[in-house]
Chain A
Amino acid sequence: MLGLAKGLKYTLKQLSREKVTYDYPNEPLPLPDRFRGIQKFYPEKCIVCNQCANICPTDCIQLTGKKHPDPTKKGKIIDTYDINFEICILCDLCTEVCPTEAIVMTNNFELAEYSRDMLFKNLEYLDENDDNVRQVNKA
């Protein structure tokens, strides 16, 4: 009976303690800077080196480049850049290998959509996703 009484005392004490739940949809979740959310993509920084597509463990990145419109400049610029968020596991490896930090993580994580097709995010979407961008990208 003593053990039961001890337990009752413990739960009674909890009654007046501070609540630990988040008021999530009403208030945004506080997330640390390093949090790995939906990527932000800077098309102007990208040099079409294909490293992100190669390192991706789930092969969810597809990109194509085109010749630089200014004929005096060498190299390529990005044409299309798609991430399939149905299979992206937000592992952060693409941002880790990117030599120009053209792709970085943000703190946004709300990906719910009504259709699977809408999880296929293109260059415009990733470019516009520019709030809560991670400050420090390389350790």
Chain B
Amino acid sequence: MIQEMLQSSPGWFNFIFFFIFGLVLLLVVLGFVTYSILAERKVMGYIQLRHGPNQLGGRFGLLQTVADVLKLLLKEDIIPKMADRPMFILAPVIAFAPSFMVLATIPFTDRFQFADLGVGLLYYVAVSGLTVFGILLGGWASNNKYSLLGGARATAQMISYEIPLVMSVLGVILLSGSLNLNDIVHAQKHGWFILLQPIGFIVFLIASTAELSRTPFDLPESESELVAGYHTEYTGFRWAFFMLAEYVYLFAMTALITILFFGGWMAPFGFLDFIPGAVWFSLKFCVILFLYLWFRSTFPRMRADKLMEFAWKILMPVALANIMLTAIIKSLFF
């Protein structure tokens, strides 16, 4: 249905229709963010022999994040006197908007997708690259030295890791012969790409962790060095926007990994087809999400200079070699 509407001529009806759909997705995503933050705190708590939030919303602290967000909204909005006001206000918006835009191309199930673009993967990578402007702007506009360092680090890191990220997916693209995410899922009917592309998967996982700037690559906001990195001076809902962008990216990236390497909504075996695709998708999604949370509670942080070395000297060549290997395999066996 959405396909038809996309191709029909523009009009008010279409606009309202898409607006409402977008709003629904936003609410779904917000719900996810709420509970992924809770999940993060719970998983980290359990790994660290604590209970995590358990006061608000029953034994499992189900309303804790809601309360946190409410508190953020009620907070006084502070803009430092020496900050660059327009940029300071603009930065969280720039950081957040692309994170929501990328969700449009992700096929959550075979029917639930907003825009079935021919170059879906390329669109994802390109748009997600925009966030770094928001972060750099925020770091610069705060007029705080820690923020500036954090912003500079974030820019350097995200730009360098985007390259191995894209390179590692090229293997998948070679095998499926398409940039369309739907086609990529359909190409995994007989075997997930993680089995055909183990090296690609590992490189992608590492690079995506860096893209999301999560431990062990959380340098832009490394608490023990830069206090809070680029959002040191942000409070209240502006800060919440940065956080939101981060978690929406986590959502999008996890969904992307599910699609690229774990067969998206498809059941692992043909006889399990009776279980709906949404269930399979969320199952795989949760496993990958747990992986990120697990990494975060285990690893120390990398060092800034080693981080760049790692991206350019190790991940890049490995990703390139992976493309070579895939091309050879593809031309010999397929």
Q: How far is the CA of A14 from the CA of B47 in the complex (A)?
A: 5
What's the nearest-Cβ distance from chain B to residue A139, in Å?
35
Kindly identify, within residues 154 to 205 of chain B, every residue whose CB is under 8 Å from any CB belonging to chain A.
Answer: none
**A17: nearest chain-B partner, CB-CB:** B49
Contacts of A20 in B (CB 8 A): 49-50
- Give the nearest-CB partner of A10 in chain B: B298
Q: Is the CB of B49 within 8 A of A11?
A: no
Residues of B within 8 A of A17 (CB): 49
Q: What are the interface flags for A7-18 relative to B under an 8 Å C-beta threshold, 1 for contact and 0 otherwise? A: 110111011011
Q: Quick check: A11 and B47 within 8 Å, CB to CB?
A: yes
Determine whether A135 belongs to the interface, using a CB cutoff of 8 Å to chain B.
no
Asked if B47 and A15 sit within 8 Å, CB to CB, the answer is yes
Tell me the number of A-to-B contacts counted with CB atoms below 8 Å.
Answer: 31
Q: Is the CB of A8 within 8 A of B294?
A: yes
Residues in B with CB closer than 8 Å to A10 are: 298
With both chains docked as a complex, state the minimum distance between the C-beta of A26 and any C-beta of chain B, in angstroms.
10
Contact partners of A21 in chain B: CB under 8 A: 49-51
Answer whether residue B299 sits at the interface, using C-beta atoms and an 8 A cutoff: yes
Nearest A residue to B54 via CB reads: A23
- Residue count of chain A within 8 Å CB distance of chain B: 13
Cα A8 to Cα B294 in complex, Å, equals 7
Q: Quick one: closest A residue to B295, CB to CB?
A: A8
Name the A residues within 8 Å of B47 (CB-CB). Answer: 11-12, 14-15
Q: List residues of chain A with CB within 8 A of the CB of B46.
A: 14-15
The B-contacting residues of A in range 1-60, CB under 8 angstroms, are 4, 7-8, 10-12, 14-15, 17-21
| Cβ–Cβ contact A19 & B294, under 8 A | no
Taking a contact as CB atoms under 8 Å apart, the answer to whether B298 and A19 are in contact is no
Residues of B within 8 A of A11 (CB): 47, 294, 297-298
CB <8 Å contact, B299 and A7: yes
Contacts of A15 in B (CB 8 A): 43, 46-47
**In this complex, what residue of B is CB-closest to A6?**
B298
Instruction: Supply 5 A–B pairs (Cβ within 8 Å), ascending by A.
Output: A8-B294, A14-B47, A15-B47, A19-B49, A21-B49
Chain A contacts to B: CB under 8 angstroms = 4, 7-8, 10-12, 14-15, 17-21
* A7-B298, A7-B299, A11-B294 given; 18 more Cβ-contact pairs under 8 Å: A4-B298, A4-B299, A8-B294, A8-B298, A10-B298, A11-B47, A11-B297, A11-B298, A14-B46, A14-B47, A14-B48, A14-B49, A17-B49, A18-B49, A19-B49, A19-B51, A20-B50, A21-B51
Closest 8 CB pairs of A and B: A11-B298, A20-B49, A7-B298, A11-B47, A21-B50, A15-B46, A14-B47, A19-B49
Chain B residues at the A interface, C-beta cutoff of 8 Å: 43, 46-51, 294-295, 297-299
